[in-house]
Structure 1
Amino acid sequence: MKPAIFELSPNDAYERQRNGALLVDVREDGERAAGMAEGSIGVSRSRLETDTAAWLPDPAAEILLICAAGARSLQCAGVLQGLGYEHVYSVNGGTKAWQTAGLPMTESTADADFLERYSRHLRLPEMGLDGQRKLAAARVALIGAGGLGSPAALYLAAAGIGTIRLIDDDVVDRSNLQRQVVHRDADVGAPKVESACRTLHALNPHVAIDAQRTRLSAANVERLLAGHDVVIDGSDNFSTRYLLNDACVRLGVPMVYGAVQGFDGQVSVFWPAHEGGSCYRCLFPEPPSPEFAPSCSEAGVLGVLPGVIGLLQATEAVKLILGIGESLSGTLLRFDALGMRFDRLRLERDPVCPRCGEGVKQADYMDLPATCAAH
């Protein structure tokens, strides 16, 4: 029969620590930034369980495990016990109880607002303190404060992206409010970038919103996009989308594409500099003739659909900044809201693509007729 795992009160654990027991904080790195039980060593539960001998070379040593509230340390103690460690204990109530008992703690290495605001990020092994600081240092250019840009901007700001350059020349119309959730009824008639700034700063005052009330053009596209880690395409016309693509190819910046119409949406990452990646012109070499492009005012869209696609775009941007997971580079993800289905299509780089093809010289940017951009 497997022996029970003993739980110790913080005071008992402290006395054992003073008498030579090893205290191990198994929280994630980001959580430990708020301070640790003094004298403890920090190693996340997953790392400790993966490479136990490197951290705990003596199975006969007295080991005390502590986490946030006691659950993870108790589970980890069970794993170590199964590996042959003979004297493993869990601190009941974790670091919270340790602090409540007035026992010594190390100083916090980050400010309280940061630690509380991003606490759920800091608990993720893939994110942690270093990942959150990467987000804080990142620069994202978001083109369009409309249906796609609204949810993307809200979640990027909430996630703690350091600087968001918001590019849009339009004003808020009452018909926008059904899907452009960054704006309010009181904002009707106001420039979209100003309305969005107010909402985003109210959500997260620590994020810098660089509002650019202008339309992207051949004359300004490279200047506006240079120096950013990711570009998000929330545009609604082909002229802007092709300019974005061409500038991102030249700058080597990933472009997170999204499009919606009716009940259908799609999203991808166009990044030919990435292995297996392609650009928007590999899929659509040239824009359609104006007569085949629907009028922006006539092309209806389910109000919640841009929310789905915009959030997928924000997710891709965060993953690209952190360098985690598998991006949609080289893949077109299609969403059917009526059937609630996702389909994935593999995209191949076109060797004769007019923009990123082999041996193609970078051409000058060109302003195209501003026809509506339905996918």
Structure 2
Amino acid sequence: MSGQIDEIGPSDALSRQARGALLIDVREDDERAGGAPAGAVGVPLGEIGGRIATIEARREREILTICASGRRSLRAAQALRDLGYTNLASVAGGFVRWNAEGLPLADGGLGADALERYSRHLLLPEVGAKGQGRLARTRIALIGAGGLGSPAAFYLAAAGVGRLTLIDDDVVDKSNLQRQILHTDARVGMAKVESARIAVMALNPRVELRTQRARLAAANVEELIADHDVVVDGADNFPTRYLLSAACRRLRIPLVYGAVHRFTGQVSVFDARNAASPCYRCLFPEPLAAQDAPNCAEAGVLGVLPGTIGLLQATEAIKLVLGIGVPLVGRLLCYDALAATFRELRLPRDPQCPGCGDHAVFGGYEDIARICASA
């Protein structure tokens, strides 16, 4: 019976393991994907009887069993006793207690902080421990720490993106505070990337946050975004977007586009890895004249609007990383805040597009900068 099995604490189990005891984790495979004791052999409870002889045939060797809380491990130890194994113990409190005590984990384990922090993600079959691990290995570049970049940065960091690079050359102005929620009144005059660093690290210190106080230009665009898995466009001008579009296509990095104007916004995904995906210049083949595309400082913007669009961008970025859902490739999602409506427009790849068309010729980033300057 289970009462005949010794129960020991995780620290005692670790000491016995170091002296030669075999530790068997009897949780299911998906449970162990979120972390397991270092050196433990994973065998689900239902398979313990059929597999133990190939793992350890010596009936006298000390065997310790562990599960999530200590219940299944008692049953596993009893099953081993029924098979003739004589030196058995179950780890009381299971992996929950092992993790809480900060004991060693196998490579790839999420750790106690991550298991608690991302517990709601881990409950989703579409994410789970495997997806959370993928997020932790992901590198996302965020262009702009302003209206769009603020909500995107917060939620990408909160989601557990492993490395987030913020690129912006501006300083915090009081007029930013109406919509750029990364920043505070006390940080007016501070570089936006430094203000953003303070905010993001306060939310999730596990994120590797890199900042670049730089303006994206022809001379540095590839250097700034290379070595990233996704780029989120929080820019507010055509030159930056044209350069980003070209660089992401050349480097084959998905680009999550977002833009706002007064009470409306739009979001799309341009994925150079997908041959059918359009690029930014399929939407805007040539840059609009400055008077036809005023920025927020000139036209104004409802303060909450960038929050909505930035959140949608963060959502698309996470979907791309996890490979779930249907990304906004070939679709332009348009939001009208006053009417509270979303409208989706088809945005197919244009074979005549000067950026990605069948006969498009890349003349260099300086050439793109000149095209934008002449608009």
2: CA distance, partners of 1:138 / 1:363: 31
Q: Is the 8 A contact 1:167 1:212 kept in 2?
A: yes
| 1:137/1:369 CA distance change after superposition, 3 Å | same
User: Offset at 1:11?
Assistant: 5.9
The residue correspondences of 1:169-188 to structure 2 (distance < 5 A) are 169-188=169-188
User: Offset at 1:244?
Assistant: 0.7
TM-score, with structure 1 as normaliser:
0.73
Residue in structure 1 matched with residue 363 of structure 2 by the alignment: 363
The residue correspondences of 1:185-334 to structure 2 (distance < 5 A) are 185-334=185-334
User: Offset at 1:291?
Assistant: 2.6
The residue correspondences of 1:77-226 to structure 2 (distance < 5 A) are 109=106, 110=109, 111-226=111-226
Matched to 1:165, the amino acid is T
Q: Secondary structure at the match of 2:269?
A: strand
Aligned pair partner of 1:33 in 35, 45, 52: 35
Q: Secondary structure at the match of 2:291?
A: helix
How many residues get paired? 309
Which structure: greater helix fraction? Answer: 2
User: Offset at 1:342?
Assistant: 1.2
Q: CA RMSD in A?
A: 3.4
- Extract unaligned runs of 5+ from structure 1: 1-9, 16-22, 49-65, 74-94
User: Offset at 1:349?
Assistant: 0.6
User: Offset at 1:345?
Assistant: 1.0
1: CA distance, partners of 2:199 / 2:285: 37
Q: Is the 8 A contact 1:172 1:187 kept in 2?
A: yes
Q: Is the 8 A contact 1:168 1:193 kept in 2?
A: yes
User: Offset at 1:325?
Assistant: 1.4
User: Offset at 1:128?
Assistant: 1.8
| 1:69/1:294 CA distance change after superposition, 3 Å | farther
Q: Secondary structure at the match of 1:367?
A: helix
Q: Is the 8 A contact 1:163 1:209 kept in 2?
A: yes
User: Offset at 1:295?
Assistant: 4.6
1:202-242 Cα deviation digits (max 9, x unpaired): 11112111111010000100111111110100001111111
Q: Is the 8 A contact 1:267 1:333 kept in 2?
A: yes
Matched to 2:282, the amino acid is C
Q: Is the 8 A contact 1:156 1:314 kept in 2?
A: yes
Q: Is the 8 A contact 1:270 1:278 kept in 2?
A: yes
Q: Is the 8 A contact 1:34 1:112 kept in 2?
A: no
1: CA distance, partners of 2:41 / 2:295: 67
| 1:267/1:100 CA distance change after superposition, 3 Å | closer
User: Offset at 1:289?
Assistant: 1.4
Q: Is the 8 A contact 2:248 2:272 kept in 1?
A: no
Matched to 2:254, the amino acid is P
| 1:69/1:124 CA distance change after superposition, 3 Å | farther
2: CA distance, partners of 1:369 / 1:351: 20
2: CA distance, partners of 1:100 / 1:227: 36
Q: Secondary structure at the match of 2:345?
A: strand
User: Offset at 1:24?
Assistant: 8.0
1:6-44 Cα deviation digits (max 9, x unpaired): xxxx968x99xxxxxxx9857953686367xx999559x
Residue in structure 1 matched with residue 22 of structure 2 by the alignment: none
User: Offset at 1:293?
Assistant: 2.3
User: Offset at 1:69?
Assistant: 12
2: CA distance, partners of 1:281 / 1:24: 54
Matched to 2:277, the amino acid is G
2: CA distance, partners of 1:167 / 1:268: 20
User: Offset at 1:367?
Assistant: 2.1
1:249-277 Cα deviation digits (max 9, x unpaired): 11111110001112211100012431431
Q: Is the 8 A contact 2:147 2:307 kept in 1?
A: yes
| 1:32/1:290 CA distance change after superposition, 3 Å | closer
1: CA distance, partners of 2:308 / 2:69: 34
Matched to 1:254, the amino acid is P
Q: Secondary structure at the match of 1:205?
A: coil
Q: Secondary structure at the match of 2:369?
A: coil
Q: Secondary structure at the match of 2:115?
A: helix
Matched to 2:162, the amino acid is G
Q: Is the 8 A contact 2:249 2:272 kept in 1?
A: yes
User: Offset at 1:359?
Assistant: 3.2
Matched to 2:307, the amino acid is G
Q: Is the 8 A contact 2:231 2:254 kept in 1?
A: yes
Aligned sequence identity (%): 55
Matched to 2:147, the amino acid is G
TM-score, with structure 2 as normaliser:
0.73
| 1:268/1:68 CA distance change after superposition, 3 Å | farther
